[in-house]
Every structure is written in C-alpha cells, then in structure tokens.
Amino acid sequence: MASKICILHILTLVSIFLPLAKSIVSDFPAIFNFGDSNSDTGELVATGIETLLPPNGQNYFHKPSGRYCDGRLIIDFLVRSMDLPFLNAYLDSIGTPNFRKGCNFAAAASAIRPITGSASPFSLGIQVAQFQRLKARVLELELLPKGKKPGKRLPKKDFFEKGLYTFDIGQNDIASAFFSKSLDQIIASIPEILAEFETGIEKLYQQGARNFWIHNTGPLGCLPQNVAIFGTDKSKLDEYGCVSQHNQGAKAFNKQLLALSKKLEGKYSDANFAYVDIFTIKYNLITNYSQYG
C-alpha cells in the first residue's frame, strides 16, 4: 500500500476483493484480523458460548464452519485474493490450527468497547491482548534449540511487521446503543468509542504492525433484525425500507472513523492505512439488488 492513506470507495464486493486486492494487498505474508461476526471464522463457536446450526455454511463449506453466514465472509474472499489460506480462529485449538499465514481474533457480537450483556466478552482490547500473547509465545518458541521448534504452524518473526492488520468492528457499539439511547446520545458517544479503537491501533503499532486495512461499518438500518425491531413504525424507514436513524448513526461513526484514519496516517509516517467504504458497498447492493441479479 502507498504511504498515504488509501480510501477505497468500491461499488461491488467482486471489484474490491479480486483485482483491487491483488494490486494493493498482494505481498503480505500473513493477515491478522480483528472484528465481530462480519469476519469471525470460528472464534465465538470455539469458546462453546454458541453453537451454529444449518443453514450456516451450507453454500460453500456445506456445513457450519464457525462463520455467521451461509457461505464465505469478506475476510475469506480477501485472503483468497492474496493466495493465502482461510484464517483459523485464535481460540480454535482442536485439530492443531495453522497460524503460519495469520490468525483471526474476531468474535461474533464483539464491539470496540465492552458491552454489558453481550454474548461475546472479546472486545477489541481483548482481541489485541490475544494478539500480544500470540506474538510473545511465537518469539519464545523461536529461542528453542533447532529440532524443538514448533515447525511451520506459527508465523515467522518478521511476519508480524510485514503482515496486514485488518479490522471490521464497531457495528455492535452503534447498533446495541439504540436499545437504550437516542441518536444524539449515540453520536455524542462516538469519540469515546474511537478513542478505544485508536488505543488498539497504537498497541499494535508498538508491536511492530505497519499495514492497516480498516473497514467502516455497514448500513445498520438495513439489517433485517433492526428493521424487525425498530421498523414497525413505517415513518422511521427510508425509501428502501431501512431504519433511517440506524443508518444516520452508522454514517456519523464512519465519518469520524475516516477522520481518525487520516490522523493515524499523519501520526505514524512509516505506516500504511487503507480505509474501506463498506457502507457504500453494502448499501449499493441493497438498493440496487435487481442490478446484481
């Protein structure tokens, strides 16, 4: 990626995760991912907190795969476009997972800040702490005599600096707040939420991370769950049937996240930042669904 912040405004998932991904993110030896259900490849399921049943996984893996999806997630398309294997969840110890090309710390229901009553205890701060533990353990094992090293299932030491750090988190901070707060109160809380996000980035930078790929949050008002709960009053829906205030909250969050990404790019001149406009991608797919078949 270029040394300046790269803002990606892309209209389809195909255009971002095939040709563009190949040109912008092609030479990274590993990916370390942080997020919620949008990119969880088995973390929450590995804890035993939840069990996934069909139709999860039916369209690609042909069985539940730890993903809250009937097929692959965006992170799956991204790693494949980079010729990397699917990311294993950090907590999935069964089957001797391979973390050579990266690791996934994302857990469904997670948020940037801890949420009381959430199904997931893995806020961004916890996920970053898990990464720190992984790196520390890898470096410890690197010191073992030859023949006692763990083999090729862990990242090489320099992968932590050369790797790509991806983020898709924040939607639960905003969406969950609508159950108890007004839109104005939610918007007022965004700086505190993003201060926590900045702290996470800073800790990873101190650990050697230099390449950051940040997704903004999607159109929360178009999620069926939110439409079902908050959209019973049709006056609260936009012309496409999405809950207007939820999307306003998402846009306010994204605007400030973009500003933070630019701030971080200026603060860390030796780091690279790509801000990906997921809101535009998803909203375009929802509002122009017939165009895509």
**pLDDT score, position 132:** 98
Residues in the chain: 293
Nearest to 216 by CA among 283, 170, 285: 170
Cβ–Cβ under 8 Å, residues 281 and 288: no
Give the CA dihedral 199, 201, 203, 204, nearest 10 degrees: 170
Query: What pTM did the predictor assign?
Result: 0.92
For the chain, domains (ranges, CATH) are 6-292 (3.40.50)
Cβ–Cβ under 8 Å, residues 181 and 109: no
* Cα–Cα distance measured from residue 97 to residue 247, given in angstroms and rounded to the nearest whole number: 38
* Cα–Cα distance measured from residue 235 to residue 243, given in angstroms and rounded to the nearest whole number: 9
Between the alpha carbon of residue 104 and those of residues 133, 185, 199, 225, 277, the distances in Å are: 13, 32, 19, 26, 21
Burial group, residue 165, by CB count within 10 angstroms (0-12, 13-18, 19+): buried
Helix, strand and coil in the chain, % to nearest 5: 45, 10, 45
**pLDDT score, position 5:** 61
DSSP per-residue codes, 21-37? HHHHS-S-S-EEEEEST
Cβ–Cβ under 8 Å, residues 32 and 131: yes
Tens digit of each residue's pLDDT (9 = 90 or more) over 218-258: 999 999 999 999 999 999 999 999 999 999 999 999 999 99
Q: pLDDT tens string for the chain (293 positions)?
A: 544 566 555 434 444 444 444 445 568 999 999 999 999 999 999 999 989 999 999 999 999 999 999 999 999 999 998 999 999 999 998 877 899 999 999 999 999 999 988 889 999 999 999 999 999 999 999 888 887 777 788 999 999 999 999 999 999 999 999 999 999 999 999 999 999 999 999 999 999 999 999 999 999 999 999 999 999 999 999 999 999 999 999 999 999 999 999 999 999 999 999 999 999 999 999 999 999 88
**pLDDT score, position 4:** 52
* Cα–Cα distance measured from residue 74 to residue 72, given in angstroms and rounded to the nearest whole number: 7
Tens digit of each residue's pLDDT (9 = 90 or more) over 189-212: 999 999 999 999 999 999 999 999
